[in-house]
Amino acid sequence: MSELVGNVLVGQSGGPTAVINASLAGVVAEALNHGEIEEIYGSLNGVLGILNEDFIDLAAQSQQTIRNLRHTPGAALGTCRYKLKKQQDFERVLEVFKAHNIRYFFYAGGNDSQDTADKISKLAQEQNYELRVIGIPKTIDNDLPSTDHCPGYGSVIKFVSTTVRELACDNEAMGQNDLVSILEVMGRNAGWIAAGASLAKRRDHPHDAPHLIYLPEVAFSSEKFVADVQRVLKREKYCMIVVGEGLVDADGNYVSAAEATDSFGHAQLGGAGEYLKSLVEQNLPGIKARVAKLGITQRAAAHAGSKTDADEAFLAGQAAVKAAIKGETDVMVTLLRGDADHYTVETGLAPLSEIANGVKKLPREWINEDGTSMNHQFVRYAQPLIQGETPVPYENGLPVFAKFEKSRVEKLLGAYQL
């Protein structure tokens, strides 16, 4: 295989996670080790940065800044949910790549992002432009196919489980068999995040919160819900519920969704918690119901991040560069769990075509027969992912996060009309 000499471009897409920047740090750290890589560029705001030829020089950033990425939430390069809609968009991407001699493209994102990377690579092949495209997994939803888990998931469930324990202390103080506390978490089509809240339960403590977990994988029944709550309140001072935003009824319809959709055609979710609150108020007189909605705080909570998660995110970024240097393309880095009794992980590769727009559901056999709690198989899967604490430096009592110096790369083409 001939050596491919050229420049790297890395971008970030979709909703950020607490560890997406650790993957970026892994890409930069590994790219500096290879002589065939001449320049390392970052695309500002994902594919929008490519269309607008808006790049920064990542090799010009200080080593301290690159190190700080490993504990910095958000997407340091900026992100987007822009969808390449027309052939002209894809042609522009290749035009920009050719102008800047981009030969290695790394894209950190979820399902839709990997679909975009796959299409860009296919067009490059049609035009006989040698380009190696590697996807880096990123989604707190943990729903990408072909990988055991996704960077970002361990940190979000560590934060959610921590929040459950904290709320439980408050609820225990306030409840007199008359309080329903509802925590709404993210999860459009899969219940991985809501399920992760089960880690808040201590072993051999069946009365610990959360008492009920409602998942998109289990069709929701309002009658069963009311009965579930009544059953819990007969034995507990309060009933704590965790619900995924993508909760659906027996017909597969979201119990709460706005008419608006995003650029990828996905329904705008949010409101499942309020829906459950309304059921309590309508059917259980005298019972107080409260709703907490974490929203984007759950994907930005680096202060409760998992060290295991951050380390694996960094590893995924390194593995992407190593794979490209070896000649791999059209693949996404995956995380593969070892067979040993103690937790180990290594990286693998899966075709982008298998990842794009696919959804990995929570296995039904990991959900107990009651449909509202998780069994030991899930705990065994998820527990290793939250281990360790990300070392976040503090200054004047507050965390210190990385911020790039915007060392802009000179534009070589004319402006593009989006």
Peptide bond into 210 cis (omega under 30): yes
Is 186 labelled a binding residue?
Answer: yes
Is 21 labelled a binding residue?
Answer: no
- How many angstroms separate the CA atoms of 100 and 409, rounded? 10
Is 111 labelled a binding residue?
Answer: yes
CA neighbor of 213 nearest in space, from 380, 368, 381, 384: 368
341 is catalytic: no
- How many angstroms separate the CA atoms of 184 and 272, rounded? 7
Catalytic residue among 141, 309, 311, 330: 141
Is 380 labelled a binding residue?
Answer: no
Is 332 labelled a binding residue?
Answer: no
Q: What are phi and psi of 233, to 5 degrees?
A: -70, -20
What is the bridge-based pairing of β-strands 102-109 and 55-57? unpaired
Is 348 labelled a binding residue?
Answer: no
Q: How many helices (H) and strands (E) does the chain have?
A: 13, 15
- 132-160 b/e with 16+ CB inside 10 Å = b? bbbbbbbbbbbbbbbbebbbbbbbbbbbb
Q: At what angle do helices 307-325 and 153-174 cross, to 10 degrees?
A: 170
**Structure-block tokens of residue 180:** 């329903």
CA neighbor of 151 nearest in space, from 349, 299, 367: 299
Is 175 labelled a binding residue?
Answer: no
- How many angstroms separate the CA atoms of 186 and 244, rounded? 6
Q: What are phi and psi of 59, to 5 degrees?
A: -70, -20
State in Å, rounded, how far the first CA of the chain is from the last one.
38
DSSP state of 362: P
Q: Which residues are annotated as a binding site for diphosphate?
A: 15
Known binding residues for Mg(2+): 111
Which positions make up the binding site for substrate? 139-141, 186-188, 245
| Catalytic residue numbers, as ranges | 141
Q: Which residues are annotated as a binding site?
A: 15, 111, 139-141, 186-188, 245
